[in-house]
Amino acid sequence: MTPSARIQATLELLESIEATPRPADAITSAYFRARRYIGSKDRADISTRLYAVLRHWARLGWWLEKQQAAQPPRARLLGWLALGEEMPLKAIGELCSGGKYAPAPLNDGERDFLRKMQGATIEHPDMPDDIKAECPADCAGALRKKFGKNFLREMRAMLAPATLDLRVNPLKSTREDMLAELEKLGLKAEACKLSPWGIRVFERANLSALPMLKNGCVEIQDEGSQMVATVVDARPGERVMDFCAGAGGKTLAIAATMKNKGRIIACDVMEGRLKRSVERFRRAGVYNVETRVLKSERDPWIKKHKGGFDRVLCDAPCSGTGTWRRNPDARWRPLGPGLEKLLHTQAEILDSAARLVKAGGFLIYSTCSLLPSENEEQIEKFLAAHPDFTREDCGLDGAAYLSLTPAKHNTDGFFAAALKRQATSDKGSAKGKSKAAATEG
C-alpha cells in the first residue's frame, strides 16, 4: 500500500468505529479480514496510527476546539499527523491528494487549523488534567478521589499500549519450558512478577502461528486477570462455580489449580460465549468443567443448588475502566449498560451467588474496574446485608483486597475480594441466624 492508502484505511476505520456500536478491536479485525490483500506491515502501520488517534482522542478534540474547528474523525486524524507525527502541512497535503486510494484533498478550514498546529505538541500547558489524562468527566471525580495526588500518574499509565501476557497451562507444560520455546522462536519474554503462571512477551508476534497457543500449553491472559485465580485458590477435589464465566479464561486458570480433580460449573447468560469456551477447555486438556446457561442471575437452578459449592467466583460485568489501555475507545463510547444499571446487576449477582456457597466456603468477587462504587463499596454493601459472610484479606502484602493498576503493577486494572461464609456454629446469636436465613430465600 502507498502511504496515502494507509492514511485512507485509517480514516475508514475511524469513521466505522464512530458509526458502529461495536468495540474498535472487533471492527478492525473485521476490516482486515475483508481485505486479505493488505499485508502484515501495512496492517501494523494502520493499526498503530489508528490506536494512537484513539489514545489521544480528548487531547486532539481540545486542539480542534481551540481552533474552533469541527471534530469529525478526519479532523482528528489530520490533527494527529500534525501534532503526534509532526508532519509538515505540505506533507499532509501530499498524502491527501484525492488520487486513487488516497484521502480527499484538504479544504480551506483544514489547512487553516493545520497551519496553526505547526510546531505545537500534542499536550498544551492550558489543558486541564482530565484532558491530559484522557479521562471522561463521568469517571474523573471517582478516580481522583481513589488515586489522589497519583491521579495523573495512574491515568497516564492507562494511555500506554497494553502488555502481551501469556498464562502457562500447568496441566500441559511449565513456565520454564515455555520460556525456552519462546526463546527458540526468537521472541523476547520473561516470567511475570506477580502471577506464578505468567509470561510477558515483549514483541508483537503473529499469535495465531504460535504452536504453544495451538496446542493449549498457554493462553493469552493479562497478568491481572491471572491473579484472580490466586484469590479463588481452588483446590483439587472441590466443587467450584464460575458464575459469570464468559468465554472461560478464568475457568481455565481455576481448572489448572485444581489439577483436573473436582468439578467446575461454568455459567453465563450468553450461550454463544459458553459454546466457544468448550473448544478452549478441550484444547487445554481440561475435563472437569461443565457449562450451564443461566436465564438470569436469579435462575431457579441456583436455588436448587444452594450451599453446594466450596468456592463461587463472580467475575461481574462492569464498566471496564481497568482495561482502557487495551480498549481506548471504551472511554468515550460505552457500549453496554450504564453505571447505575451495572451497580444494580453486580449487587444482584452477589446476592444470588451467595446462596451457592456452603458453610465455610468462599465467595470471590472480581471486576476489571477501577471505580470504588463497583468494587470496595459494592463489597461493603454486601457484607452489611449478609452478616454470615466475612471478608478475608486477599491482596498483595496482606492487603484487604486485590487491587491492581497499570501504574503500580503494569497490569490491567483489576479488583478482587474474598468473602468467607461462616459455619452455623460460628454465628453469635439467633437473631444473626435468622438474618442469614432470610438472605437465603
Burial 60-79 (b: 16+ CB within 10 A, else e): bbbbbeebebeeebbbbbbb
State residue 325 phi and psi, 5-degree precision.
-70, -25
Closest CA to 250 of 303, 311, 325: 311
Residue 365 phi, psi (nearest 5)? -115, 135
Of 34, 136, 164, 3, the C-alpha closest to 13 is 34
256 and 171 Cβ atoms separated by less than 8 Å? yes
- Give dist(CA 418, CA 391) in Å, integer: 6
Whole-Å CA distances, 194 to 223, 226, 248, 319, 396? 7, 9, 21, 24, 9
- The one catalytic residue among 135, 217, 267, 368: 368
Spatial separation of the C-alpha atoms in residues 8 and 46, rounded to whole Å:
9
- Alpha-carbon distance of 217 to 71, in angstroms, equals 46
- Are 258 and 238 in contact by the 8 Å Cβ rule? The answer is yes
H-assigned helices in 34-172: 40-55, 57-66, 73-83, 89-95, 108-117, 129-132, 137-147, 151-157
Q: For helices 223-232 and 249-257, what crossing angle results, to 10°?
A: 50
Long-range contacts for 401-404 (Cβ within 8 Å, ≥24 apart)?
A: 401/375, 401/376, 402/227, 402/228, 402/231, 402/366, 403/375, 404/194, 404/224, 404/227, 404/322
d(CA 362, CA 221): 24
Among candidate residues 106, 94, 14, 28, the one with its CA nearest the CA of residue 60:
14
> Which three three-digit cell numbers place residue 251?
475457568
Cell of 18: 464512530
- Compute the distance between CA of residue 331 and CA of residue 319 in angstroms, rounded to an integer: 10
Asked if 341 and 334 count as a contact pair (C-beta separation under 8 A), the reply is no
In the annotation, is 96 catalytic? no
The residue count of the chain comes to 441
Catalytic residues: 368
